[in-house]
Structure 1
């Protein structure tokens, strides 16, 4: 033992070795090997402990043993625990250990607000979605059989492990379960009682079934955690995540995350592939409705998944048509899952703790080395994409001149007309419905009046038996007449009520209104079938137009094609109903075949539109040229909003870089001069974790600021939060000093920081080992006390 060490284990740690047992360790693993595996695993999540241990065995020329992987896991768990304690001490030293501090400061571009900024309609945009790749196999005994001989899952043989990984990425399972049944009955009553919910139906209810629990019911006996349900900001920083447990995408996961984000961050817009339904569910939920109204919550349909929704839903919920969203597609979860899915192979058979630990470590790494590293590149790419869209304005003006359109305001009117037209096809006009109902009630009234007339007197019976039969027949007739009188009274009351609602006198057979209503009733079945078919075919044509539109990517084309294929069954069923109704009309109406519908490419091909309530074939918003111009108009509107948002985000990011560097440098010097060099060294490492990318960020943003069309500023502003300014002596007093653009100037701070770190590198390593040793002793002492 080294003088001053209380335990052999702590002496090993001081020498850069991690023991696998606390008191008399016989096996140690170098901290360098543990750190190398940690970094390699985060960069390549498919690399597991077993493969790494086998590689070490190959390097050392020894045969692999099963227990070596277990020993390495023990040492690695201890190493991560020590890192977590050190990180916690750093956060305490920086006064960043308050509840939800990480979430409130997760993204510099979204959340580092500056004084004098213009308020955005949606101050923050996020995206949520479920992913079932990160399942965890549930260890059970062999399956058993019940009394009926049906197989049932065996008892669990999971090892009890109550440890929780460090960090606040996960919402507790208890918090999520609180939303499982709370207020669901009241919420469903709200759906029925709320007229807006019924009238604002978008037609997606039967198609988007993500929230149904039986989707993954077959996996209940195999998996405990069946995936993750995360929330990310629009710059791909992880905000919060929950585990999906023995289920698919249930509403409770979205409720729990939405509640947490609204209470912590305030007003925000969220993208979700079933946002059309989820927005209504949140605003009807008794536990969320008031908070959603207070914060201005809005759930949208992402650009990619939204193209698979019906057109009625798209015109109301698609990001292209929603004010304040910009060009953001709100599909960040999909790209994140494409990378995090590689983690599944190493977590599928892990324990609950090790799965959660691996996911948490991956999130921390992704925030710094993926999201933060590429933040400036993402901002620049978004800005250039918005400028590219704005460059299409002359082409739009040329098209408008060719179509004799005087103002772009007309495109908003066109979209409203399309919305109203699609809604009218989903239900009958109220006036026509009322008149047809009144006509039917009049017919019923005349029938009950005939049935209620007194029956003719029967001839006298010749004998007693005949008298009994005649009396029984008379009683039956009188009973029928009494029932007819009751039905007549009810029909009369209904007729009188309808006459009051219509404001009309009693119609009589042969009258103009009577005959007109009779014709409408005869056409009703045909008209209903035609409306349903018309709505499906028009939506199909508009989506086909989107597939052939320039700029539509290959994946989006395939996604729309799959959605069209899924809806083909509904179109075929509508064709059958229409043909049956057309055969019963006088004169007989033309019928349709599936082959004819498939050949429809333009509305002008759909001759049956003239049979509808409104012929839209010549409407400007229904013509291909008009629709292209309308879509380009809305893209230009969203491009203006995108540039407005990016101008704020770029200045926030530049200010954050300057403030964060000065703040951390100040506290590093404070701790060093205050007699705590080990903690000062850890603050320095924390400072360099992100600062290594700052020169690259400033260089990218500097180049963007010189490009034509850039209207923002890369001058540092003043943050609303004073956390990084209190007690900090800034190296540069003028906060409005422009950010440097020269590559040499950008690299100079990095070289100075690197040189400064090298000067005391030896002392820092010794201090770091002292810190690790002290932490290890504390952990061992806690474990000893627990025993």
Structure 2
């Protein structure tokens, strides 16, 4: 800004001791107050009024060129133009404002003032070394106080906006600002909103208006929103500078180090089957209404979203372009034999098609590690929970972490086939990724799906239930009300800020509690299980625990067998049918050979034609016989039959009955599988220790199962009545009352009486579940021992590294060193809490791990590589002593 412009604006300034900044529009207007922003000029958006006013007041200074031409300047800019230019102007000054913010933050930490107005009162004692070269009058708004003040502009200030930021004020305009919000007020709202996402900007500004005793106007919220966006931009720029100074700005650095317990790998630690356990799921609460124009007809108008030119720079969000790469794979929906398709509507896009006209983003798809740290987020855009969202998440995680990933998804059985058929198939087939179903949602899946994918039966998983997304969504749902009508940028900004804050101040703060509770739970399971399992095994006359593994495989084979006919029976029925066809073709061939053509008085041509037809029939009969004979011979080879069956043989008669009862047997197999699965699922709902919500969830799933059982029952009864003699029919009331396999008398008519299987009794199933629970508890302790040492090492290394970086920058860049100190305090404030909890874990009876820090595979300091064994031992002893003191 030139000196002439400054002098002209200073000449227009009003009294600095104005009583109120937020005045009522009905009060008398002063043109000086209009120019400095304390009064609102009632003008339209078409422009022109303010130019007339400025021309009359400033004369030659306003526009020499327009005055010379004898015409006034007309503002033809639209609101879209103004918003874009305002954001572009802010972006061009972002670097200067970031440096000013660093200066303000450092001065605030050294001085004894707590806010902007306190600083203003003691300005003489806290002035920088540079001398003021100008001043600027602006309305400054704080939480409890607002006033029109004059701030000093130094020669080191590159712009007016940066001069305001240096003194703790975020301007609402990039050039010639008239209103500014204090940084303390913006930071207060940021923290309050992150702690209680229900709090919107409008509610906060209304509260400030009430405290000031003035009326609320909508433009006040817009001003606050502009300043808040600028404040967040500056904070992100500062965070980027801190990351660069810490050498943590490489691609995917945050994702690779998202969770200290999951990703802070140590050297020489035991290898786990799953290097990373995570859960992913979609949630439709964070949807956003798409604003449209109003057309004259009933059809939806085009989008009237206002482009702001703002883009969120974060590696937590997957871009729409990246996600859409997997759209072609969405058609490969799972329809395998183990799929629970039909019970899950998450991937049924038809359910949300009606909402496309209302919402643009219909929710988010989230991936979190087992401790709750957010890994990746993808917007679900005008669609339901399509397969492309989990495919994109899995692709990104495989690219970053590589191998041995275990992912929980509530429809994993349906997604597993999609994943294998997608472009990621080669990776998944090489067992780089395992699809699992969470413990909570697993009880809504079919029993056969549970045997293959449920967490209870998955080796190496521990006690992890893979239901972390549900607990995360229970907190993020509070964002919904504030985001329903937000812009694309503001919605993503709020979601990203929420999960960043949740990771640092909620999940990380509770990390040691998570480890302690899981360790204690695993030890309790082992204590109770080791005392109860031998007694159950003795009652069941089971000598070795490997019997339970065989029982599980037997149950899998049994349920798989019910999905299709046994191969041997199918071949026997096929052989019987081919024998019947062979006998019929043999009779047809004999009849054709025995046919004798009698003399007739027909013409010679007619007799020749008849002879040809007879010869053709004989040839065809011979070909049919030979074809059927070859098929019979091939089947005899598969069945290893040395003597061909004849109608008087027992095998012939049994196979004939199988063919006659084929429809009946198929209906019985389906009904059997559904009822047996229901009985097994009921055993979980009635088991001690099952919570009320899980019981309700299982009951709801069983209610959905009942529709399939009723359909299968009707089909079975219809076929059973048509047999001769008719077979036993069932009533619906009888079926729903079956609680144990022993009550299911119809099973005695099936191929294999399951009630005679050793694993079908309630006692045997209880012993099986207890055995697998003990196995998972041992695996959980093995994983927790590794995670505990990782956390201890992370606390030591992070504190040491950040202090080293801070010390190196104190002399060359003290402002940036102060930001590193703030960054260090973000998670460092929970150090004593974690050490206390880790000490409690070490005192648990049965603790088999160590609190001695290890050596990280991600070594930050070059000096750490030069430490000899003696120095490492001394360092470990210091940490152990500190833990013992706590």
TM range (shorter): 0.7 to 0.9
Cα deviation per residue 1:336-368 (whole Å; 9 max; x = unaligned)?
011101101111111101101111101110110
- The partner residue of 2:726 within 568, 572, 588 is 588
- The partner residue of 1:625 within 763, 783, 792 is 763
1:256 is aligned to 2:403 = no
Spell out the pairing of 1:202-601 with structure 2 (5 A cutoff). Answer: 202-267=338-403, 268-285=405-422, 287-294=423-430, 296-392=432-528, 393-450=530-587, 453-454=591-592, 488=625, 490-504=627-641, 505-601=643-739
Q: Distance in 2 between matches of 1:591 and 1:659?
A: 71
Contact 2:839 2:884 (8 Å CA) reproduced: no
What TM-score, normalized by structure 1, do the two folds share? 0.87
Give the structure 1 partner of residue 289 of structure 2.
137
Deviation at 1:645, TM superposition (A): 0.4
Deviation at 1:707, TM superposition (A): 2.1
- The partner residue of 1:172 within 319, 326, 331 is 319
CA, structure 1 residues 572+736, in 2 after alignment: closer, same or farther (shift >3 Å)?
same
- The partner residue of 1:58 within 198, 210, 221 is 210
Deviation at 1:482, TM superposition (A): 7.8
Q: Distance in 1 between matches of 2:620 and 2:220?
A: 89
Q: Distance in 2 between matches of 1:42 and 1:409?
A: 51
Q: Distance in 2 between matches of 1:212 and 1:411?
A: 38
SS of structure 1 residue aligned to 2:876: coil
Give the structure 1 partner of residue 162 of structure 2.
10
Contact 2:339 2:413 (8 Å CA) reproduced: no
Contact 2:520 2:844 (8 Å CA) reproduced: no
Q: Distance in 2 between matches of 1:225 and 1:79?
A: 26
Q: Distance in 2 between matches of 1:323 and 1:6?
A: 62
Give the structure 1 partner of residue 32 of structure 2.
none
SS of structure 2 residue aligned to 1:28: strand
Contact 2:198 2:481 (8 Å CA) reproduced: yes
Gaps of 5+ in 2: 1-134, 136-152
CA, structure 1 residues 469+209, in 2 after alignment: closer, same or farther (shift >3 Å)?
farther
Deviation at 1:520, TM superposition (A): 1.7
Give the structure 2 partner of residue 102 of structure 1.
254
Deviation at 1:701, TM superposition (A): 1.3
1:676 is aligned to 2:823 = no
CA, structure 1 residues 463+707, in 2 after alignment: closer, same or farther (shift >3 Å)?
closer
Q: Distance in 2 between matches of 1:588 and 1:233?
A: 57
Deviation at 1:723, TM superposition (A): 1.5
Aligned residues: 726
Cα deviation per residue 1:297-356 (whole Å; 9 max; x = unaligned)?
111111111111111111111010010000000010000011101101111111101101
Contact 2:290 2:303 (8 Å CA) reproduced: yes
Gaps of 5+ in 1: 146-150, 192-196, 747-787
Deviation at 1:462, TM superposition (A): 9.8
Q: Distance in 2 between matches of 1:593 and 1:583?
A: 13
Q: Distance in 1 between matches of 2:633 and 2:866?
A: 84
Give the structure 2 partner of residue 737 of structure 1.
877
1:70 is aligned to 2:222 = yes
1:712 is aligned to 2:859 = no
Contact 2:519 2:781 (8 Å CA) reproduced: yes
Larger-Rg structure = 2
Greater Cα offset, 388-397 or 510-519: 510-519
SS of structure 2 residue aligned to 1:45: coil
CA, structure 1 residues 308+472, in 2 after alignment: closer, same or farther (shift >3 Å)?
farther
Q: Distance in 2 between matches of 1:203 and 1:180?
A: 21
Contact 2:279 2:369 (8 Å CA) reproduced: yes
Give the structure 2 partner of residue 767 of structure 1.
none
1:48 is aligned to 2:184 = no
Q: Distance in 2 between matches of 1:603 and 1:618?
A: 9
CA, structure 1 residues 260+479, in 2 after alignment: closer, same or farther (shift >3 Å)?
same
Deviation at 1:470, TM superposition (A): 12
Deviation at 1:50, TM superposition (A): 1.0
Greater Cα offset, 640-649 or 530-539: 530-539
Q: Distance in 2 between matches of 1:468 and 1:367?
A: 97
SS of structure 2 residue aligned to 1:6: coil
Q: Distance in 1 between matches of 2:231 and 2:801?
A: 28
CA, structure 1 residues 577+668, in 2 after alignment: closer, same or farther (shift >3 Å)?
same
CA RMSD of aligned residues (A): 2.8
Deviation at 1:729, TM superposition (A): 10
Greater Cα offset, 131-140 or 701-710: 701-710
Q: Distance in 2 between matches of 1:666 and 1:80?
A: 28
Q: Distance in 2 between matches of 1:480 and 1:37?
A: 95
Q: Distance in 1 between matches of 2:623 and 2:293?
A: 68
CA, structure 1 residues 684+488, in 2 after alignment: closer, same or farther (shift >3 Å)?
same
